[in-house]
Amino acid sequence: MRILYGKPVAENIKKEIQEMLFELNKRNKTPKIALIRIGENMDDITYEHSLKRNLKMFSIPYDSYVYAQDEDAEVLKRQIEKLNKDDEIDGIMIFRPIHPQIEQFEINETIHWKKDIDCATSYNQGKLFEKKSNLLYPCTPRAVMETLRFYGVDLVSKKCTVVGASQVVGKALAIMLIKEKATVTVCNSKTLDLKAETRDADIVICATGQAKLITKEHLRDNQVVIDVGINFDNGKISGDVDFENIDYDNIRITPVPKGVGVITTLTLIKQLVEKTLKLS
Ligand code: NDP
């Protein structure tokens, strides 16, 4: 088994970010991001801490806004509109999914597409279907693509099974894989024979939030397995794959923790810097 750690991928992305910041510096430009958290969801708070720590590491300034989970949608929209008009702000990130009490579609839609750093608007999501490259991608699927690229996994003509079909991860990832000429199967909770779908694939990507759903019987030798899941299992973090019991000789697999999770935050920062460079 070969473990595909996130750290070398992250180091490579850090280098790319530094190089782009250097270019921006020559143009007297420093990108700035606005972070909007609604409610006290622990996943959001953890992600926010990690993001702030990394932004500080690159000396990238940010403004942070925190609202109650029952905040009036009009107040949120007014704040986003203000940020849209603020020339100092290059990216707006709202931690998702927004609490169900608030209509998340209209909040996300308020973000100007050029500042939509996590591809939350239907405009940017729609652009995923176009042939040419996007300015902005959803960060978790892009982190998966960065991992595959870094480890030299060829996608052309390969069978990819994506387990999980959420808007934020599975569906967007499927489109991105199709654009790379992979043959893609997407599974959900009603898929009849998950084992057959995963064993048939060259590349398996799991994002379900079901700890250890994918067992040894779901996999076979010579596959690449990317585990996006972050699950809290008896005080321990585990992925969607039953990692400890996978013992095929030539399988390549990302661990949890120390896998894709390390890359997602940096991918968001990369997108902020990259698109600021493209548009400046
Ligand atoms: P959602 O709950 O929104 O979606 C889960 C998806 O998995 C759904 O499509 C669901 O199917 C499917 N699913 C659930 N159970 C099964 C099953 N038994 N067999 C097949 N499919 C199943 O989750 P997210 O997409 O938001 O997140 C998924 C995981 O990824 C979570 O663990 C989350 O913590 C992690 N994550 C990690 C990130 C990172 O940076 N590494 C970032 C974002 C998320 P159905 O559509 O039928 O309901």
* Residues of the chain predicted below pLDDT 70: none
Ligand 1 pocket member 141 (CB < 6 A): no
**CA 206 to centroid of ligand 1, rounded, Å:** 8
Would you list the DSSP string of the chain? -EE--SHHHHHHHHHHHHHHHHHHHHTT----EEEEEES--HHHHHHHHHHHHHHHHTT--EEEEEE-TT--HHHHHHHHHHHHH-TT--EEEE-SSPPTTS-HHHHHHHS-GGGBTT--SHHHHHHTTSSSPPS---HHHHHHHHHHHHTT---TT-EEEEE---IIIIIHHHHHHHHTT-EEEEE-TT-S-HHHHHHT-SEEEE-S--TT-B-GGG--TT-EEEE---EEETTEEE-SB-GGG---TT-EE--SSSSTHHHHHHHHHHHHHHHHHHH-
Parts of the chain belonging to CATH 3.40.50.10860: 28-115
The protein residue with its alpha carbon nearest to ligand 1, atom 3, reads 166
**What was the pLDDT predicted at 196?**
98
Spelled out in words, what is the top-level CATH class assigned to the domain 139-262?
Answer: alpha beta
pTM for this one? 0.96
Parts of the chain belonging to CATH 3.40.50.720: 139-262
**What was the pLDDT predicted at 97?**
79
Ligand 1 pocket member 46 (CB < 6 A): no
* Superfamily designation of domain 28-115: Leucine Dehydrogenase, chain A, domain 1 (3.40.50.10860)
**What was the pLDDT predicted at 172?**
96
Ligand 1 pocket member 259 (CB < 6 A): no
ipTM higher than threshold 0.95: yes
**What was the pLDDT predicted at 100?**
74
**What was the pLDDT predicted at 233?**
72
Ligand 1 pocket member 256 (CB < 6 A): no
**What was the pLDDT predicted at 235?**
82
Closest atom of ligand 1 relative to the 228 alpha carbon: 41
**CA 107 to centroid of ligand 1, rounded, Å:** 22
**What was the pLDDT predicted at 132?**
85
